[in-house]
Amino acid sequence: MARIVTTGSYLPKNIIKNDFFDKPINPEELAVIEKYMTGMSQRRHADKSETGLYMAIKAAEQAVERSAYQVNDIHMIIGNITPNQHLLPEDLNIVAAELGCENTTVLPINTACSSFLTSL
């Protein structure tokens, strides 16, 4: 039986607060904008070293660390790297190679959520 046993994620280190983009008239306005207009109080900005591929590898390493499995136990990697550094081969193949996975299938999700549902 197939199942998702773990996930991983990576956030760029550089945090940008909302006040970087616009200076409201008073601090109370900023609180209203953050809470009701955008729903977020900060964003992440990747520097030149934090490519999509780099972040995917870090997320995959985290997923393996969180699980009770070793890299050779992985049968499939499902993911999306945007933007890809390479059109062909798919960057997820590079993630599998960087992890040291052998005989692992990758399933890139590059076309919205319908691909994810299809893969499940």
The pLDDT tens digits for 64-86 are: 999 998 998 888 888 877 766 66
- Paired with 105 in beta bridges are 76
The predicted structure's pLDDT at residue 101: 92
- Whether the predicted pLDDT of 30 surpasses 80: no
DSSP code per residue over 12-64? -SEEEEGGGT---SSHHHHHHIIIIIIS-SEEEE--TT--HHHHHHHHHHHHH
pLDDT digits (tens, 9 = 90+) for 37-64: 666 777 888 899 998 889 999 999 999 9
Would you say the pTM of this structure is higher than 0.85? no
Nearest to 79, CA basis, from 100, 57, 62, 98: 57
Name every residue whose Cβ is closer than 8 Å to that of residue 98 and which is 6 or more positions away in sequence: 57, 60
pLDDT for position 58: 95
What is the per-residue pLDDT across 88-111, written as a single tens digit (0 to 9) for each? 667 888 999 999 998 888 888 765
